[in-house]
Amino acid sequence: MDPARKESGSTPHRRTPEPSPRDLLRAAAEFLTLHHTEERLGDPARRIAAARAEIADTGTYRHTTRELVFGARVAWRNANRCIGRLYWHSLSVRDRRDVRDAGEVAEASADHLREATRDGRIRALITVFAPDTPERPGPRIWNEQLIRYAGYTRPDGGVTGDPRNAGLTAAARRLGWPGGPGTPFDVLPLVIEDAGAAPLWFTLPEDAVLEVELTHPEYPWWHALGLRWHAVPAIANMCLEIGGVCYPAAPFNGWYMGTEIGARNLADTDRYDLLPFIADRLGLDTRTDRSLWKDRALVELNRSVLHSFDQAGVTVTDHHTESRRFLTHLGREERKGRPVGADWSWIVPPISGSATPVFHRTFEAVELTPAYVHHPEALERARGAVLS
């Protein structure tokens, strides 16, 4: 599951302006108090005093490794748009705050994918690179996810591949990327910048990218369609905000819920738009919506995703199971006296919503910190609108 958001559609636009020393100290005190309270570490006064002195001296402060781990996990717990938060406490954290060079970020990101993939037994994982500081911003990863498929704009205005990534594809080409073979599923390079320097592109090694070829449990011809998807949904362009400190490059992943691929990535009209094609192959009547051809094609496409990931031994979950697990998460948090924010429009699955228990609940979108947020320029960069 994607820890922060569904695969497609709008993304949160909350921004993280540079905090004043007073605001930073307030955020630090709130976070350190939360950490000491939940982890039963005793009175946080001494730690807050140390942070206050560090902020007065340098304009920022450094989290301990234990604080970083706690903050990253709680940020997942606070993600209003994620249905998979039951596992927030199992998030593994790679502390790479010593890394800010673009090449080293690319290398460590490839290592992240290898460690998260584990031959298909996907692990929830985050790698945290250097934070923003008053002296120097941290590195930025332009890609929305570490693994994304290129979108090549054709002369006729159409797109080969994923239209969502057409802007980033064009930006990578302008930076010197020669492009891939030109298939609908060419893996994009990572585009990374450090401290405002010119961005650089880096090809992901083949052994860091696990993909699943899509077949169908009933239709042998499905394999010949050449459909595929990658195994690890690693969000790369969001800031991990902990106690007022922004870590702008902190790629993180859970594992996929099948509908993220089958009901959004491959089905949305502004993505791969496969429903008319699949319906035609299934022999469905597409002349009228009353035949429910879209619904039937959508179900078969989602069956294909779940079947294929299972056959390949790659972790995936389904929307019925995950809806029940989300209610388990709600119950656990309520018993601990912690509020749970949730965005109903994102929690309810994009297929068979009323058949899941989350459809029949109401939720309040409570903004809590630590959190995963978009730094101001992230969406522009992901679409290739900024090149300097």
CATH at residue 119: 3.90.340.10
Query: Has residue 241 been placed in a domain?
Result: yes
Query: Has residue 74 been placed in a domain?
Result: yes
**What is the tens place of the pLDDT at every residue in 143-197?**
999 999 999 999 999 999 999 999 999 999 999 999 999 999 999 999 999 987 9
- The single residue of 73, 82, 193, 264 carrying the catalytic annotation is 82
Indicate if the alpha-carbon torsion angle 251, 256, 257, 259 is positive or negative: positive
Query: Has residue 181 been placed in a domain?
Result: no
- The single residue of 144, 260, 300, 322 carrying the catalytic annotation is 260
**What is the tens place of the pLDDT at every residue in 255-285?**
999 999 999 999 999 999 999 999 999 999 9
Query: Has residue 180 been placed in a domain?
Result: no
Query: Has residue 327 been placed in a domain?
Result: yes
Q: What is the pTM of this model?
A: 0.93
- The single residue of 47, 85, 164, 264 carrying the catalytic annotation is 85
85 is catalytic: yes
260 is catalytic: yes
94 is catalytic: no
Query: Has residue 310 been placed in a domain?
Result: yes
Query: Has residue 31 been placed in a domain?
Result: yes
Query: Has residue 244 been placed in a domain?
Result: yes
* Cα–Cα separations (whole angstroms), residue 137 to 116, 140, 195: 27, 9, 5
Domain that holds residue 281: 21-148+187-339
Phi-psi label, residue 198: left if phi above 0, alpha if psi -120 to 50, beta otherwise: beta
Report the domain count for the chain.
1
* Whole-number pLDDT of residue 19: 81
Q: How far apart are the first and last CA of the chain?
A: 33
- The single residue of 201, 229, 255, 293 carrying the catalytic annotation is 255
* Whole-number pLDDT of residue 383: 58
* C-beta separation of 150 from 156 below 8 A: no
pLDDT band at 387 (very low <50, low <70, confident <90, very high): low
Higher pLDDT, 386 or 69: 69
255 is catalytic: yes
- For residue 56, the surrounding DSSP H or E stretch is helix 45-58
Please, where are the H alpha helices in 192-318? 258-259, 275-282, 293-312
**What is the tens place of the pLDDT at every residue in 335-362?**
999 999 999 999 999 999 999 999 999 9
